[in-house]
Structure 1
Amino acid sequence: MIPARRKALAVLAATGASVATARYMRPTVHMSDTLGKPDLELIFPKAFADWRIDARSSMVLPSPATQALLDSIYNQTLTRTYINSAGERIMLSVAYGGDQSDATRAHLPEVCYPAQGFQISQNFAGQLRLEGRTVPVRYLMSNQGNRFEPITYWLVVGDRVTVSRTDQKLAQFALGLKGLIPDGMLVRVSSIDRDMARGHQLQAVFLQELAAAFAPAARDRVFGALSSNPI
């Protein structure tokens, strides 16, 4: 009886220690409180290089259910279409959420696009050189009927860029060990083009010129402070 009681007490003590450890390690500090929440309207210029906002263009709007989900995850969203002097258009979509914990983690385009009726035929990782830093990106090719839309995107979790659900979770975990709840910014550009390589190349030019127009602090927020150091 006594050994059984001792065993029960030992289990109870171990359980209590585990709970205490979990509470101690649970992130409590929101990075958005220390870094401040970005103002997407101010960060992203309305005109730069040869690009300006195309007020006549319209983007495919999400369904009411999808929009409700986005509203529950993100604090700010920005959607614009830019046009250059050659008549080429780039669609920019940015979403910012101050809490990238499990319940409010950003939803990636390869999940959101099929939910809107698109098919994803290509999905691969790559890199872009933007103002002297190497930024990981993910390339997609999507289509809905005769609408073909190459996509380039990345997600900044706290201070690091992620381009997969695994990377996203690892970044969240690494920052959580420091007691930090990361914020997140999903940046997506796309264009209407049957030629995937041509579409991605135009998007790369757009992003390079956009990066050059950013203030240095904005580059860290949009491209991640821990992307390869500028040279």
Structure 2
Amino acid sequence: MNRTLRLSLVAGVLMVSSAVLAKIMTPTERLAQVRAPLVLDTAIPTSFGDWIEEKDLTAQVINPETADALAKIYTQTLSRNYVNRDGERIMLSIAYGEDQTSGLQLHYPEVCYPAQGFNLASATKGTLTTHQGVLRVKRLQTSLGSRNEPVTYWTTMADKVVLGGYDTKFAQLSYGLRGQIPDGLIFRVSSISNDPQQAFKVQDDFVRQIADALPVQSRSRFIGTPGQQ
């Protein structure tokens, strides 16, 4: 067998092997279809702890993503305003997607806000202690004209909190190796305030109380599983 023929055979074997491996590693099981349906409007309570929904202020919630992006990437979205007994207000925005593969994965606020004209003054990672465990979050300071909007958010992929970059890629690979296509969501709380540190404290209080009020059977899909953050 001459050298050219051997090289051709080796190349052919490698091509077939790559095709077979790609087929084997292509996830096919959608977790959204094998788990209980997630309905944001009913899973998220309208009142809990010190907080109650303030329906007449819904228009104040600004979504930094375009309508086209929302329709393409997300299966459901939810936006609400809440007020507590002290008159402090929180804007809640949740977007859920059934397919967290590379082309359809969640869009992160530090990208979406500037794309819609907001100034992004800072974006830092942090933690938020809840009764269910320590939640990894991101803190943003954004503004649009005179509107100063501190933001706290995190994203989940199935039952894991992921914060973008290698964190998200590793989770995708982990599920993919098991043949699974994870669902996921972005959970964002924000408020209008010129005092970001005070705003973050109020947001933390809101998150702790809403985490306690989430349905037990779906709580991990919103805040991840303690110990697997």
Range into which the TM-score falls when normalised by the shorter chain: over 0.9
Partner residue, 1:15: 15
Partner residue, 2:227: 228
- Kindly provide the CA deviation profile for residues 97-119 of structure 1, in whole angstroms up to 9, marking residues without a partner as x: 00000110110000111111101
Contact map agreement 1:37 1:98 (CA 8 A) in 2? no
What amino acid maps onto 1:42 in structure 2? T
- Kindly provide the CA deviation profile for residues 47-88 of structure 1, in whole angstroms up to 9, marking residues without a partner as x: 11121111221225458x811111100000000000112211
Give how far 1:164 is off.
2.3
What amino acid maps onto 1:155 in structure 2? T
Partner residue, 1:193: 193
2:91 pairs with 1:91: yes
Q: How many residues align?
A: 227
2:121 pairs with 1:130: no
In 2, Cα distance between the equivalents of 1:36 and 1:217? 9
In 1, Cα distance between the equivalents of 2:187 and 2:61? 17
| Bigger mean CA deviation after superposition, 125-134 or 153-162 | 125-134
Question: In angstroms, what is the RMSD of aligned CA positions?
Answer: 1.6
What amino acid maps onto 1:177 in structure 2? L
- Kindly provide the CA deviation profile for residues 110-169 of structure 1, in whole angstroms up to 9, marking residues without a partner as x: 011111110111111111112231111111110111110010000001221012233112
Superposition map of 1:57-72 within 5 A: 57=57, 58-62=59-63, 66-72=66-72
Superposition map of 1:104-183 within 5 A: 104-183=104-183
What is the percentage of aligned positions where both structures have the same residue?
37
In 1, Cα distance between the equivalents of 2:62 and 2:91? 12
Moved over 4 A (4+): 60-63
In 2, Cα distance between the equivalents of 1:168 and 1:195? 31
Partner residue, 2:217: 217
Give how far 1:36 is off.
3.0
Structure 1 SS opposite 2:194: coil
Contact map agreement 1:118 1:142 (CA 8 A) in 2? yes
Consecutive unaligned residues in structure 1, runs of 5 or more? none
Give how far 1:3 is off.
2.2
Q: CA separation of 1:60/1:48 partners in 2, compared to 1, >3 Å: closer, same or farther?
A: closer
In 1, Cα distance between the equivalents of 2:159 and 2:211? 17
In 1, Cα distance between the equivalents of 2:46 and 2:180? 33
TM-score under structure 2 normalisation?
Answer: 0.94
TM-score under structure 1 normalisation?
Answer: 0.93
